[in-house]
C-alpha cells in the first residue's frame, strides 16, 4: 500500500544511494533502478495503484506522484552537480600559469647574400637601372646559342654545364637574361639581372656548384667603353668606399667585343698587397665588355645604330670580401652561429 509509512523507506534508500553517486554512469543506473518503465521501484508502485479500491487510490496516487517528482528533482540536481565538478576538474587540468617565463625566440635576419644583393640592387636602381629576372632552368638557345656560342663552340666547355636534357641546362651565368630582355624590349635598355647560376664544380673554400651573379646590360646610341668603366666604378665606390679603384684586363667572352675582366683595388690593404689579394693589390670580381654586334644581329637590333655594354658580377665573391668571410661554404651551410653574426 502506498502510504507515507510504506514509501518513506523507499525514499530514504534512494537518498542514500544518490549520495554515493559521483559519475554520469552511476546516475543513469540509479535513475533506471527507480524510474525505468519496466522495473523502476517507483514505477512498480505506480503500477500497483490499479489493485487499490476507489477510495484509497487518489490519496496513494498523489503521494506516489509526489515521490516521483522528488526523485526526478533530486536526480536533476545531482546531474548538475556532476557537470560542475567535471568542469572544474577540466579547468584545473588545463590551467595555465601565466607567470611562467615565455619561450625565447630568435628574430630572423637577412642572409648576408640577400643583404648584399639588396644593397646592390638599391645602388643600381638609384642609377636608373631596372631589375629583370629569368629562369634558372634555361634553354640552350638563351644560355649559349644567342650569346654567340653555337654548338661545338669551345667556350661552351669552359662553362662546366649541368644539363637537364640535351636542350635544357641549369643556367651557367645570368647572361641569358640579356637575350630575354632584348627580345622583349627595344633600346634604350638599362637593366640588371641578379640570380643564381650553376656549374659542375666540386665544393671547396672558393667553389660551389651554385652561386650568384648580377648581370648588367646597357644599350643605346653612342654607348662606349668609358660608360662601362664609369658605371662599374661608380657602383663599386658606392658599395665599398669612395677610394675604390678599378682596372680592366683584356679577356674573351664570345658575346662581348672587346671583353675584359674587371679587378677592384683590394678593399683590405687598399692596394698595397695582402694575403686576401695575394699581394697583388687587386681582386677580380667580374667579366664585362661591349656587346658583340653579332648578338645584336641575332636579336634583330640595328647594330649600326646601337652599341652597349654588359657585365656579369660575382656576388658571393663580393660578399666574402665585404664581410671578410674566408670560406664560401659558410654562406651555404646556413649554420645559425654563422648567420647570427650579420
Site residues (vs ligand PHE, CB under 6 A)? 173, 175, 253, 256, 259, 287-289, 310-312
- Return the number of the residue (173 or 212) whose C-beta is nearest ligand PHE: 173
Three-state DSSP state, 298: helix
| Rounded least distance, CB 270 to ligand PHE, Å | 26
Tell me the longest C-alpha to C-alpha distance in the chain.
Answer: 130
| Rounded least distance, CB 217 to ligand PHE, Å | 8
| Rounded least distance, CB 207 to ligand PHE, Å | 14
- Residue with the CB atom nearest ligand PHE in the bound state: 312
- Return the number of the residue (134 or 287) whose C-beta is nearest ligand PHE: 287
Sheet of 210-220: strands edge to edge? 130-131, 189-198, 210-220, 307-314, 282-291, 256-265, 246-251
Q: Which residues lie closer than 8 Å to 158 by C-beta, 6 or more apart?
A: none
- Return the number of the residue (187 or 287) whose C-beta is nearest ligand PHE: 287
- Strand pairing class (189-198; 282-291): unpaired
- Return the number of the residue (40 or 187) whose C-beta is nearest ligand PHE: 187
Three-state DSSP state, 214: strand
| Rounded least distance, CB 163 to ligand PHE, Å | 17
Phi first, then psi, for residue 216 (nearest 5°) are -130, 145
Sheet of 168-170: strands edge to edge? 137-139, 168-170, 162-163
Task: Tell me whether residue 39 is exposed, middle or buried, using C-beta atoms within 10 angstroms of its C-beta: 0 to 12, 13 to 18, 19 or more.
Answer: exposed
| Rounded least distance, CB 336 to ligand PHE, Å | 31
| Rounded least distance, CB 214 to ligand PHE, Å | 10
Cell numbers found for residue 36: 525505468
- Return the number of the residue (34 or 311) whose C-beta is nearest ligand PHE: 311
- Return the number of the residue (64 or 177) whose C-beta is nearest ligand PHE: 177
What does the radius of gyration of the chain's CA atoms come to, in whole angstroms?
44
HSE-CB for 230 with a 13 A CA cutoff:
7
- Return the number of the residue (34 or 231) whose C-beta is nearest ligand PHE: 231
Three-state DSSP state, 249: strand
| Rounded least distance, CB 329 to ligand PHE, Å | 21
| Rounded least distance, CB 128 to ligand PHE, Å | 19
Measured CA distances, 315 to 21, 112, 113, 214, 273 (Å): 77, 11, 8, 7, 22
- Return the number of the residue (31 or 171) whose C-beta is nearest ligand PHE: 171
Amino acid at each position: 500500500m502506498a502510504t507515507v509509512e510504506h514509501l518513506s523507506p523507499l525514499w530514504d534508500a534512494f537518498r542514500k544511494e544518490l549520495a554515493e553517486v559521483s559519475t554520469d554512469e552511476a546516475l543513469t543506473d540509479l535513475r533506471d533502478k527507480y524510474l525505468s518503465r519496466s522495473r523502476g521501484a517507483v514505477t512498480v508502485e505506480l503500477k500497483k495503484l490499479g489493485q487499490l479500491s476507489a477510495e484509497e487510490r487518489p490519496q496513494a496516487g498523489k503521494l506516489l506522484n509526489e515521490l516521483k517528482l522528488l526523485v526526478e528533482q533530486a536526480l536533476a540536481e545531482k546531474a548538475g552537480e556532476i557537470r560542475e565538478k567535471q568542469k572544474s576538474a577540466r579547468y584545473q587540468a588545463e590551467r595555465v600559469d601565466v607567470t611562467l617565463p615565455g619561450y625565447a625566440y630568435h628574430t630572423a635576419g637577412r642572409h648576408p647574400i640577400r643583404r648584399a644583393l639588396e644593397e646592390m640592387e638599391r645602388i643600381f636602381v638609384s642609377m636608373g637601372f631596372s631589375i629583370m629576372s629569368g629562369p634558372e632552368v634555361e634553354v640552350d638557345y638563351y644560355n649559349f646559342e644567342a650569346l654567340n656560342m653555337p654548338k661545338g663552340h669551345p667556350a661552351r666547355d669552359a662553362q662546366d654545364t649541368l644539363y637537364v636534357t640535351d636542350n635544357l641546362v641549369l643556367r651557367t651565368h645570368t647572361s641569358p637574361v640579356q637575350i630575354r630582355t632584348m627580345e622583349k624590349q627595344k633600346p634604350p635598355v638599362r637593366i640588371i639581372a641578379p640570380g643564381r647560376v650553376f656549374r659542375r664544380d666540386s665544393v671547396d673554400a672558393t667553389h660551389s656548384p651554385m652561386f650568384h651573379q648580377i648581370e648588367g646590360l646597357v644599350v643605346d646610341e653612342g654607348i662606349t667603353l668609358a660608360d662601362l668603366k664609369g658605371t662599374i666604378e661608380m657602383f663599386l665606390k658606392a658599395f665599398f668606399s669612395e677610394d675604390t679603384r678599378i682596372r680592366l684586363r683584356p679577356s674573351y667572352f664570345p658575346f662581348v667585343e672587346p671583353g675584359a675582366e674587371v679587378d677592384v683595388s683590394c678593399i683590405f690593404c687598399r692596394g698595397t698587397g695582402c694575403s686576401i689579394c695575394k699581394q697583388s693589390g687587386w681582386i677580380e670580381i667580374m667579366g664585362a665588355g661591349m656587346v658583340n654586334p653579332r648578338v645584336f644581329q641575332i636579336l634583330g637590333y640595328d647594330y649600326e645604330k646601337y652599341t652597349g655594354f654588359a657585365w656579369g658580377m660575382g656576388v658571393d665573391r663580393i660578399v666574402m670580401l665585404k664581410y671578410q668571410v674566408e670560406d664560401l661554404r659558410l654562406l651555404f651551410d646556413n649554420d645559425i652561429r654563422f648567420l647570427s653574426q650579420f
